[in-house]
Amino acid sequence: MDPDLTDKINALRQAIQQIEGLPGEQRLRLTQTLEELEQSAAAQDDSHLPPMQQLEDAMLELEAKHPDATQLLKSVADALGRIGL
């Protein structure tokens, strides 16, 4: 997997853990989605499609309250797009 993408996913994991007021269920969903994306990116197949939709949904949920985390989510999505996922 692209080292830049790995760094962005790790930064996003840290940011998710530091978001104050984020419900535990949403935090868990984001963490699981990142794990699925990481596995899909490593496999480089079509298995990334459902996690990408989940990531996009999570971005919409976070956008208003947590702009920093949203920016990290967008950078992960952009990095995935650059490697063709």
17-27 pLDDT, tens digit per residue, is: 888 777 888 88
| Each residue's pLDDT tens digit, 44-85 | 665 555 666 777 777 777 776 777 777 777 777 777 777 665
Residue-by-residue DSSP string for 44-81: TSGGGHHHHHHHHHHHHHHTTT-HHHHHHHHHHHHHHH
What pLDDT is attached to residue 75? 77
What pLDDT is attached to residue 45? 60
What pLDDT is attached to residue 56? 74
Q: Give the phi and the psi of residue 20 in degrees, each rounded to 5.
A: -80, 140
Q: And the tokens for 70?
A: 């949203």
CB-based contact 31:13 (threshold 8 Å): yes
